[in-house]
């Protein structure tokens, strides 16, 4: 973990193009509320403008950065902080302005306006917000860039993320940009699969090994998930309560018997006793994991490629200071 920055006045960094931030004038309402309280507001909406904003905040050694954005933008700031030379580590308030808001739900920043009002009230009254430490998920592979984030998706989950992202990019109407956009894209995909017209690639064979020795031998993987979040307030929590360590991993082979019957329980973290590595399912906590055979994955909704011939190591990276309103 980097050096602790002095608290100082906060700055609110807004991504006005994040899904919820761009709806219902959320970005404008949040900016107006913050400015009325004397908080500086910066708007940025792409990697270049965010890097410029981060560079400015870094140069000023700002101690508190409040972020109204989606998970992808939070991923960008985690990547930035992982590579700063002088271990700048501001306290972050993560307000859910995106579509899924997996990370803000975990850190108390959702719903965003309620969280922002609570944080502003505490700041005006001179109260310090509770602070927690959150380790990032680190992904490394020989010859490739080390990445930091929170939730990895592989297998058909990654393909679903990709299909939804491509669907949203095809238009600007409500069917492509509304709350139902992902549901529509996945429903359409299910119909295509059911009628033998699946656009998805074949299952990728992967070998998944946890640091405590538990192993899923090479198999066609339907689901691969890894993260460092407890997901206490998430809409789903598909990790078994087994093992020890900060990294959580779930890998499920396409050959797992009765997968669809078990899926509702899996989404709540309840794994039937028949779901074992021998039958195609591996899930639980560990210190680190290694995946061989993966060629593409999503990290906090962003897509990346990998070399299937080399092991992808999954462990923990930097630790973020996160404020809970």
Residue 197 confidence class, pLDDT cut points 50, 70, 90? confident
Q: What is the pLDDT of residue 1?
A: 44
Tell the CATH topology of 151-171+201-299.
Tumour Suppressor Smad4 (2.60.200)
- pLDDT tens-digit readout, 118-137: 999 999 999 999 999 999 99
Q: Would you give the DSSP letter of residue 122? A: H
Question: How much of the chain is helix, strand and coil, in % rounded to 5?
Answer: 30, 30, 40
- pLDDT tens-digit readout, 282-317: 999 999 999 999 999 999 988 999 999 999 999 999
pLDDT at 193 over 50: yes
Does the domain at 3-134 match CATH 3.40.50.10330? Answer given as yes
132 in Cβ contact with 320 (< 8 Å) = no
Q: What is the pTM of this model?
A: 0.90
Domain with CATH 3.40.50.10330 in the chain: 3-134
**224 strand-pairing partners:** 154, 251
Q: What number is the average pLDDT over the span 37-43?
A: 95
Helix H segments across the chain? 26-36, 47-59, 71-83, 102-107, 112-124, 155-168, 174-177, 181-194, 259-267
**66 strand-pairing partners:** 12, 93
When mean pLDDT is compared across 15-19, 48-52, 223-227, 304-308, the lowest value belongs to: 15-19
pLDDT at 17 over 80: yes
Domain with CATH 2.60.200 in the chain: 151-171+201-299
């Amino acid at each position: 973990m980097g050096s602790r920055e002095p608290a100082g006045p906060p700055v609110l960094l807004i991504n006005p193009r994040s899904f919820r931030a761009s709806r219902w004038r959320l970005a404008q309402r949040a900016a107006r509320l913050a400015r009325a309280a004397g908080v500086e507001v910066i708007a940025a909406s792409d990697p270049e403008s965010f890097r410029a904003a981060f560079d400015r905040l870094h140069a000023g050694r700002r101690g508190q950065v409040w972020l109204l954005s989606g998970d992808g933008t939070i991923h960008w700031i985690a990547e930035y902080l992982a590579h700063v030379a002088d271990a700048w580590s501001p306290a972050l308030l993560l307000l859910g302005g995106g579509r899924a808001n997996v990370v803000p739900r975990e850190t108390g920043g959702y719903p965003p306006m309620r969280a922002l009002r609570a944080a502003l009230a505490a700041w005006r009254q001179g109260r310090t917000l509770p602070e927690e430490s959150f380790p990032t998920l680190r992904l490394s592979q020989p010859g490739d860039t080390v990445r930091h984030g929170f939730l990895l998706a592989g297998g058909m989950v990654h393909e679903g993320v990709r299909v939804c992202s491509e669907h949203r990019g095809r238009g600007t109407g409500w069917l492509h940009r509304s709350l139902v956009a992902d549901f529509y894209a996945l429903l359409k995909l299910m119909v295509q699969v059911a009628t033998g017209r699946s656009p998805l690639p074949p299952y990728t064979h992967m070998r998944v090994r946890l640091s405590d020795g538990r192993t899923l031998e090479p198999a066609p993987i339907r689901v691969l998930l890894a993260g460092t979040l407890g997901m206490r307030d998430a809409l789903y929590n598909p990790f078994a309560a087994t093992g020890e360590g900060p990294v959580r991993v779930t890998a499920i082979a396409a050959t797992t018997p009765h997968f669809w019957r078990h899926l509702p329980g899996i989404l709540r973290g309840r794994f039937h006793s028949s779901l074992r590595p021998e039958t195609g399912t591996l899930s639980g906590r560990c210190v680190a994991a290694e995946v061989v055979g993966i060629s593409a994955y999503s990290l906090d909704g962003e897509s990346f490629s990998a070399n299937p011939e080399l092991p992808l190591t999954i462990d923990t990276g930097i630790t973020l200071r996160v404020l809970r309103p």
